[in-house]
């Protein structure tokens, strides 16, 4: 099976701002650890707060397979990540061009 690419857009919720800077850094580190634990890798993380009123950052992760994507989602739920962020994601695989 092909690698799975996950694009994401994220805005921070009020609960995020209630955390101290150390707590924010710790939670973000745990999110990155969850990805690595299932074989995921962040390709790019971009600051879009200067150009978007809705999304503060966006990025792309790559996972070895769909099971890794699903396990990563479970780990994020366990971290209560979605209490702190609103997100939108899109999954895909590598394409060579338009599929007609």
Residue 32, domain member (yes or no): yes
Residue 11, domain member (yes or no): yes
Please write the tens of the pLDDT for every residue from 78-98.
999 999 999 999 999 998 877
Threshold 0.85, pTM exceeds: yes
CA angle 94, 41, 73 (to 5 degrees): 90
Using CB atoms within 10 A of its CB, is residue 43 exposed (0-12), middle (13-18) or buried (19+)? exposed
DSSP H/E element including 73? helix 66-78
Residue 100, domain member (yes or no): no
Q: Which of 41-45, 61-65, 71-75, 93-97 has the lowest mean pLDDT?
A: 93-97
CA angle 58, 52, 68 (to 5 degrees): 15
Q: Which CATH number goes with the domain that contains 58?
A: 3.30.70.1030
Residue 45, domain member (yes or no): yes
The neighbouring-strand residues paired with 46 are 58
């Amino acid at each position: 099976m092909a690698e799975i690419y996950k694009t994401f857009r994220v805005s921070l919720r009020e609960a995020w701002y209630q955390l101290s800077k150390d707590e924010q850094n710790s939670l973000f580190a745990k999110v990155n650890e969850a990805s690595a634990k299932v074989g995921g890798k962040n390709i790019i993380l971009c600051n879009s707060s200067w150009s978007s009123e809705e999304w503060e950052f966006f990025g792309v992760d790559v996972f070895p397979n769909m099971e890794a994507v699903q396990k990563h989602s479970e780990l994020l739920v366990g971290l209560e990540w979605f209490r702190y962020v609103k997100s939108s994601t899109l999954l895909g695989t590598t394409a060579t061009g338009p599929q007609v």
